[in-house]
Amino acid sequence: MPRPIQAFVHTDALRHNLTRMRTAAPDARVWAVVKANAYGHGIERVFEGLRGADGFALLDLDEAQRLRSLGWRGPVLLLEGVFEARDLELCSRLDLWHTVHCDEQIDMLSRHKTQVPHRIFLKMNSGMNRLGFTPTRFRSAWTRLNQLPQVDEISLITHFSDADGPRGIAEQIATFTKTTEDLPGERSTCNSAGLLRHAHDAAVAADWVRPGIALYGSAPDFPERNIAQWDLQPTMSLRSRLIGTQDLQAGDTVGYGSSFAADVSMRIGLVACGYADGYPRHCPTGTPVLVDGVRTRTLGRVSMDMIAVDLTPCDAAGHVAGFGSEVTLWGKASNGVVLPIDEVAQAAGTVGYELMCAVSSRVGFTQN
Ligand SMILES: Cc1ncc(COP(=O)(O)O)c(C=O)c1O
C-alpha cells in the first residue's frame, strides 16, 4: 500500500472559479494562467475544468506542447516569450503567441524564418521593474516589431506589482494607458488581484485578463479577504490519514526539539504527511488542520514524514478520531468542511502559491 497521503484536484471548483473570474470582467477574454504546471495541480488535471477559458498562458514550451497534445487548438501565450532562437521554431509549429519584453527577443525574431507571422504581446515595464520595455523605449520597440515581416498582430501587455495591496495600480495603469494611447492592438493588464479588486477600471478589464491564483481557490489579497468573501472554491485538497495516536500527560513533549509540551492530559494523532510531501516545515504549533472535518491544530515541529495534531476538538465534538481518520492539510474535507490553503500558508509565513507549487512528487494526485 502507498502512504495514505493524496492530493485531489477538483474539476468543478476550477470551473466555478473560472466563471467567477469571467463575471469580474464580462467583456474581457480570459487567459487561464497555467504556468508552473498549473500552479502545481498538473496541466492535464486542470484542463477539463479550465477548457472554457479563451486561452492558456504559461512560460514553458514543454507545457505548451502538453496543452496542444491534450487537443487544445485555441490561443496559448508564452508569458516570458522565447529564451533562445530555436524556441521560435516551436512557436511557429505549435502556433504559440509570445511575449516580447527585450531587444534580444526582437533580434531573434528578425532572423527567424517562418511562413506564418507571429502574434506578439509586447510587454511594458510600467513600474514593476521585472520584464518589459520602459515607457520611453516601448514605442521604438513597437515600431521595430511592426516593421518585421515575421510579426502579425501586436498586442500590448503589462503586469502590476501591487494590485493586491494599498499602493494599488493607479500609477502603473496611468503610465500604460498614456504610453499606448494611440497604438493599435489589444490590451492585457491584470492578474487575479487586478481583476478582483480593480476591474471597475475599464483599462484594467480590457480585452484580455490573466487570472492565475484565484482560479486555484486562493485569495490574492488574503488576509484582507478570504476565498469565501471572493466566492472562490479550493481546487486542491491535500489529504492524508492518522497512522497512530498517543495519550499525553501534562509535561509530555511532542516531536523533534520537544517544542510542544502538553499542559494537561490530551490525545494526539500522528499524520502521514511531512515536509518531504511539500507541507511547510515552518508551520508552527497551532497551524490549522482538519481531522475528519473537525478543525484542530498541529503540535510541535513538522518532521519529514509526520505531523502531530491535537485531537481534543474531535473528542469534544463527540467524535473519536483514531487510526485511519481522514486528515485534511488544506482544501476540502470529505464532509465538505473547507480549510483554505491561505490559512496554512499564512501560518508558514508564505502564500498559497508556494504551497500548491511545492506538493512533492511522492504525493499521488487524483482528479475528482
Ligand atoms: C505576467 C503574468 N500574468 C498573470 C499572472 C497571474 O498572476 P496571479 O496568479 O497573481 O493571478 C502572472 C503570475 O505571476 C504573471 O507573471
Alpha carbon distance 78, 95 (integer Å): 11
Is the pLDDT at 221 greater than 80, yes or no?
yes
What sign has the CA pseudo-torsion 109, 114, 117, 121?
negative
Q: How far is CA 158 from the centre of its chain?
A: 19
Nearest ligand 1 atom, CA 216: 9
Angle subtended at Cα 25 by Cα 19 and Cα 26, rounded to the nearest 5 degrees: 70
Give one word for 70, left, alpha or beta, with left for phi > 0 and alpha for psi -120 to 50. Answer: alpha
Catalytic residue numbers, as ranges: 35, 256
Alpha carbon distance 257, 235 (integer Å): 35
- Give the C-alpha distances (Å, rounded to integers) separating 9 from 47, 204, 244, 330: 11, 30, 27, 12
Taking only the tens place, the pLDDT of each residue in 230-279 is 999 999 999 999 999 999 999 999 999 999 999 999 999 999 999 999 99
Predicted pLDDT at 102: 98
Ligand 1 close to Cβ of residue 213 (< 6 A): yes
Nearest to residue 291, comparing CAs of 259, 261, 324, 264?
324
Is the pLDDT at 1 greater than 80, yes or no?
no
Predicted pLDDT at 201: 82
Is the pLDDT at 205 greater than 90, yes or no?
no
Predicted pLDDT at 316: 86
Alpha carbon distance 328, 269 (integer Å): 13
The average pLDDT across 171-188 equals 96
Taking only the tens place, the pLDDT of each residue in 77-98 is 999 999 999 999 999 999 999 9
The average pLDDT across 198-210 equals 87
- Give SS3 for 329: strand
293 CA to middle of ligand 1, Å? Answer: 32
Predicted pLDDT at 204: 80
Taking only the tens place, the pLDDT of each residue in 339-354 is 999 999 999 999 999 9
243 CA to middle of ligand 1, Å? Answer: 38
132 CA to middle of ligand 1, Å? Answer: 14
Predicted pLDDT at 308: 98
Nearest ligand 1 atom, CA 214: 11
User: Is the distance from CB of 33 to CB of 58 less than 8 angstroms?
Assistant: yes
Taking only the tens place, the pLDDT of each residue in 94-137 is 999 999 999 999 999 999 998 899 999 999 999 999 999 999 99
Is the pLDDT at 46 greater than 90, yes or no?
yes
* Percentage of residues in the chain having pLDDT higher than 70: 100
User: Is the distance from CB of 120 to CB of 155 less than 8 angstroms?
Assistant: yes
Predicted pLDDT at 2: 84
pTM of the model: 0.96
Predicted pLDDT at 203: 76
C-alpha cell at 257: 526539539
Average pLDDT value for the chain: 96
Ligand 1 close to Cβ of residue 220 (< 6 A): yes
Nearest ligand 1 atom, CA 79: 1
Residue with cell 499542559: 263
Predicted pLDDT at 99: 98
Ligand 1 close to Cβ of residue 118 (< 6 A): no
Taking only the tens place, the pLDDT of each residue in 302-335 is 999 999 999 999 988 888 899 999 999 999 999 9
Is the pLDDT at 31 greater than 80, yes or no?
yes
Nearest to residue 137, comparing CAs of 106, 174, 173?
106
